[in-house]
């Protein structure tokens, strides 16, 4: 399949493929839009079934980062990279060093950060061969506590603030900080999902959880008093909120009719199978918190790490995620349009404006 006719291709500025037989690296970097600044996005490692599945994921993820940065009012563009392989079995220092050399070849057009399957130590290894990595500098996090640079805590906190906004709008709770008795199903309890679940538990919510890794399940059951769910039922429980925090495309033609929660609000990227599913959720009366809005905490955190901002500045910006979602929910209700469509309009206004005013040059290849 040609890249240019791929269903997920949307005027991406740059796409690079790289294979290094010596280390086993097979990777793709996609840059969607750099009108607001250099493309910053995570480096994901996942055992995709084939190259086309990896290409689909990286194209969607890169576009999502453009929209995410625009709605977060950051001077960054959207990009992403994927490494094809099992991070628990196939990740080696040599492979990561090869990935660093791959990133370096783009000359700063793309800046890599942590993502599913990679972490701060991995980015530091990549950083031996490129300066274009982010989220690796120790310091103080948004909460004033020591941080390794890992953006996961900020992503989880921002998602938590987004859930508060969704609960206030959809369920009419006057105090968004009070989640006592709220029932939430969290799909995926990795670095972000577990931290989100902990925030929810501390706010009084009741949790149902599922993860493909049993050690993560054991931790959540022991430490968060969560109820275990299965892969087959986690999205379809009769709870107040379903929080997808694993892989994308979980909201599709098969799953949406079976949903029983009035709110979908989680940290996973690209939760919709395709754009039409935004309308399907809205038509079914489900309040959807657009993923590229609610999970922007990580990119916000990395942005401020790069410029050396104080923790209070970062936290204030993270708190604004809930305010942005509240605006989207209100405009959706007033305009009788799906929330994702409203969010797309707002984002496109912001990065198209940058393009027209020429704040940043665009590079194509």
Give the CATH number for residue 312: 3.40.50.720
State how far the alpha carbon of 151 is from the alpha carbons of 1, 137, 288, 296, 342, in Å: 35, 11, 23, 10, 27
Q: Residue 151: pLDDT above 60?
A: yes
Range of the domain at 260: 146-344
Residue 364 reports pLDDT greater than 50: no
Annotation marks residue 63 as catalytic: no
Q: Are 166 and 240 in contact (CB under 8 A)?
A: no
Give the single-character DSSP code of 276: H
Distance CA 136, CA 146 (A): 13
Mean pLDDT value across residues 87-106: 97
Give the pLDDT of residue 362. Answer: 37
Average pLDDT for residues 300-311, to the nearest whole number?
91
Q: What is the largest CA-CA distance in the chain?
A: 59
Q: What is the pLDDT of residues 24-33, one digit of tens each?
A: 999 999 999 9
Residues whose CB is less than 8 angstroms from the CB of residue 339 and which lie 6 or more positions away in sequence, other chains included: 278, 282, 287, 288, 289, 290, 328, 329, 332
How does residue 286 score in pLDDT terms, banded at 50, 70 and 90? very high
| Residue in 80, 161, 201, 206 annotated catalytic | 80
pLDDT at 293 over 60: yes
Looking at residue 39, its pLDDT comes to 97
Sheet holding 287-288, edge to edge: 227-228, 206-210, 183-187, 241-244, 263-264, 287-288
Tell me how far apart the alpha carbons of residues 40 and 162 are, in angstroms, rounded to a whole number.
Answer: 22
Statement: residue 306 has pLDDT above 90:
no
Give the model's pLDDT for residue 61. 93
Encode burial over 347-361: b for 16+ CB neighbours within 10 A, e otherwise: beebbeebeeeeebe
Same domain flag for 154 and 129: no
Q: What is the DSSP string of 148-188?
A: -S-SHHHHHHHHHHHHHHHHHHHH--S-TT--TT-EEEEE-
One domain for residues 181 and 203: yes
Is the domain of 92 the same as that of 173? no
Q: Is residue 73 included in any domain, yes or no?
A: no
DSSP H helical ranges for 227-310: 276-283, 291-294, 297-307
pLDDT surpasses 80 at 313: yes
**195 and 298 part of one domain:** yes
Residue 351 forms part of a structural domain: no
Give a yes or no: residue 356 inside a domain: no
163-196: per-residue pLDDT in tens? 999 999 999 987 777 899 999 999 999 999 999 9
Q: Which of 78, 125, 137 is nearest to 100 (CA)?
A: 125
User: Are 284 and 333 found together in one domain?
Assistant: yes
Instruction: Classify residue 70: in a domain, yes or no.
Output: no
Q: Are residues 273 and 309 in the same domain?
A: yes
Given 89, 111, 136, the domain boundary residue is 136
- Identify whether residues 284 and 322 lie together within a single domain: yes
Tokens of 295: 């999970």
Q: What is the pLDDT of residue 1?
A: 56
pLDDT at 353: 58
pLDDT of residue 149: 86
Nearest to 23 by CA among 90, 83, 94: 94
Q: Which residue, chain included where needed, has tokens 């600044």?
A: 37
- Region 233-254: mean pLDDT is 96
Q: Does 181 share its domain with 298?
A: yes
How many DSSP H helices and E strands does the chain contain? 11, 13
In this structure, the answer to whether residues 264 and 327 fall within a common structural domain is yes
- How would residue 360 be classed by pLDDT, with cut points 50, 70 and 90? very low
Query: DSSP assignment, residue 287?
Result: E
| Mean pLDDT, residues 272-294 | 96
Q: Which of 364 and 316 is assigned the larger pLDDT?
A: 316
**For residue 365, pLDDT beyond 80:** no
26 shares a domain with 83: yes
How many C-beta atoms lie closer than 10 Å to residue 153's C-beta?
Answer: 23
Residue 56: partners with Cβ closer than 8 Å, 6 or more residues away: 6, 7, 8
Report the pLDDT value the prediction gives residue 2, as an integer from 0 to 100: 79
Examine residue 286 and state whether it is found in any structural domain, yes or no.
Answer: yes
Tell me which of 118-127, 144-153, 210-219, 293-302 is least confident: 144-153
* Structural domain contains residue 315: yes
Residues 290 and 312 in one domain: yes
How many other β-carbons are positioned within 10 Å of the β-carbon of residue 90? 15
The whole-chain average pLDDT of the chain stands at 93
In terms of DSSP H, where are the helices of the chain?
Answer: 51-71, 93-104, 120-126, 152-171, 191-202, 214-223, 276-283, 291-294, 297-307, 311-335, 339-357
pLDDT value at position 361? 38
260 and 289 in a single domain? The answer is: yes
Q: Is the pLDDT of residue 42 over 70?
A: yes
Q: Give strand pairing partners of 43.
A: 81
Rounded Cα–Cα distance for residues 288 and 293 (Å): 11
Does residue 254 form part of some domain? yes
Question: Could you tell me if 79 and 28 are in contact, meaning their C-beta atoms sit under 8 angstroms apart?
Answer: no
Assigned domain for 141 exists: no
State CA 252 to chain mean position distance: 18
- CA-closest candidate to residue 41, choices 141, 162, 132: 132
CA angle, residues 155, 159, 163, in degrees to nearest 5? 170
Domain count, the chain: 2
pTM recorded for the entire structure: 0.87
pLDDT at 119 over 80: yes
């Amino acid at each position: 399949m040609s890249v240019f006719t791929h269903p997920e291709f949307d005027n991406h500025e740059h796409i690079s493929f790289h294979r290094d037989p010596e280390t086993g690296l097979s990777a793709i970097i996609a840059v969607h839009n750099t009108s607001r600044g250099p493309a910053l996005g995570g480096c994901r490692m996942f055992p995709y079934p084939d190259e086309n599945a990896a290409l689909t994921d990286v194209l969607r993820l890169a576009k999502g980062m453009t929209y995410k940065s625009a709605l977060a009012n950051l001077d960054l563009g959207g990009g992403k990279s994927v490494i094809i392989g099992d991070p628990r079995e196939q990740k080696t220092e040599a492979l990561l060093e090869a990935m660093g050399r791959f990133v370096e070849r783009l000359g700063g057009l793309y800046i890599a950060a942590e993502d599913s399957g990679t972490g701060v130590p991995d980015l530091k290894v990549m950083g031996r061969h490129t300066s274009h990595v982010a989220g690796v500098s120790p310091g103080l996090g948004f909460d004033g506590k020591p941080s390794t640079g890992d953006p996961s805590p900020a992503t989880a906190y921002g998602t938590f603030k987004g859930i508060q906004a969704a609960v206030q709008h959809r369920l009419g709770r006057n105090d968004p900080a009070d989640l006592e008795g709220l029932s939430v199903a969290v799909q995926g309890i990795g670095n972000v999902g577990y931290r989100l679940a902990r925030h929810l538990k501390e706010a009084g919510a009741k949790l149902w959880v599922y993860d493909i890794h049993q050690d993560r399940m054991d931790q959540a059951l022991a430490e968060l008093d969560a109820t275990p769910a299965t892969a087959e039922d986690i999205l379809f429980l009769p709870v107040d909120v379903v929080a997808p925090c694993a892989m994308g495309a979980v909201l599709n033609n098969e799953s949406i009719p079976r949903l029983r929660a009035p709110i979908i609000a989680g940290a996973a990227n690209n939760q919709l199978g395709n754009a039409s599913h935004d309308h399907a959720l809205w038509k079914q009366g489900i309040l959807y918190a657009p993923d590229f809005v609610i999970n922007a905490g990580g990119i916000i955190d990395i942005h401020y790490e790069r410029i050396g901002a104080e923790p209070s500045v970062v936290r204030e910006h993270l708190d604004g995620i809930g305010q942005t979602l509240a605006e989207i929910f209100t405009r959706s209700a007033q305009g009788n349009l799906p929330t994702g469509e409203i969010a797309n309009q707002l984002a496109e206004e912001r990065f198209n404006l940058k393009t027209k005013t020429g704040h940043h040059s665009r590079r194509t290849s």
